A and B are shown apart, each in its own frame.
Chain A
């Protein structure tokens, strides 16, 4: 089989951000369930946190393609 070990490494590296994004949205859903009127304020914070956690996965996929 062909292919590069980089991609396996990227798969492993994506576990961390995956768990992180899961935690962020779990907390967001919890917060909205407890206090539905806070949804507007929580939403932008949740998406901001999601973007920051996702940055790690994004750097990972870029490096997986760049480093040979």
Chain B
């Protein structure tokens, strides 16, 4: 393993460690720029009144339109014997309704939350799958602010649901005072429960979605760009072989990512339902 030159080293400081592997392989002469968080800062497509509109912002709108269009078209006819589109829509809808809503919130009062859960699931799913759709190929929620906005919405919903059912103080008591605990422990537990249930929850909810999309896309960029570098910019016969292997890995990772993207949409909605169920729970 050769050590890169000093100019190379100064440039390398700003890069993350994923570049190390490739920098070791490139033999020190070249300028391989490892992808990093900066790869996600896309230039604005156009700007309105000084505010730049970027690709992920457009994707949010496109995602909302697609989800609305799909569900509207699937539900429009409501035929007794469903056609192909209606069948797909009904399968997808009942998956979220029964698998998430009814199982988690409970069959007594899950119905008011089904539209929210279904809309959120499909919105996140299509926005995650944008990462794999050709010519779009960018997961919307790899921008942290998008995921934070979504988690903020879910924070508002589950707190509002809980406050409406229990009243403000009753809800605070439900979330912060664990039942069946001795009085001596309460001063220790109440701040912890408050912190964990009302402050950290939306943050982890957003970070989970964001970091999964971010890391997955970063991995894909690394394999694609690194493979290109190894194939085209090396003088050793072995490096192009490794580059082609990297491209094959990129394809394999894309399929893994499809699964991860689906799973993250599911997990997000599942946790939303869990939080709503927790806010609705009776005193025990």
Contact = CB atoms under 8 A, between A and B. Distances in A.
Contact of A1 (B12, B99, B266, B270): B12
A2 to B, nearest CB: 2
Given A1-B12, A2-B12, A51 B23 contact: no
Interface residues of A, number: 21
A19 to B, nearest CB: 19
Interface string A1-33: 111101110000000000000000000000000
A47 B9 CA distance: 43
A59 B204 contact: yes
B177 interface: no
B211 A62 contact: yes
Contact of B208 (A1, A7, A54): A54
A47 B212 contact: no
A3 B215 CA distance: 17
B27 to A, nearest CB: 13
Interface residues of B, number: 34
Interface of A: 1-4, 6-8, 40-41, 44, 47-48, 50-51, 54-55, 58-59, 61-62, 65
A58 B23 contact: no
B271 A3 contact: no
Nearest to B204: A55
Interface string B2-20: 0110001101110111111
A1 to B, nearest CB: 6
Contacts of A50: 267
A51 B20 contact: no
B42 to A, nearest CB: 18
- Chief secondary structure at chain B's binding surface: helix
A1 B103 contact: no
Given A47-B266, A55-B208, A1 B271 contact: no
Contact of A2 (B9, B37, B104, B270): B9
B245 interface: no
10 contacts: A1-B3, A1-B4, A1-B23, A3-B17, A7-B17, A40-B103, A44-B104, A47-B266, A48-B274, A51-B267
Contacts of B99: 40, 44
A58 B211 contact: yes
B88 interface: no
Interface string B32-47: 0000010000000000
A27 B211 CA distance: 26
Nearest to B100: A44
A40 B23 CA distance: 47
A2 B23 CA distance: 9
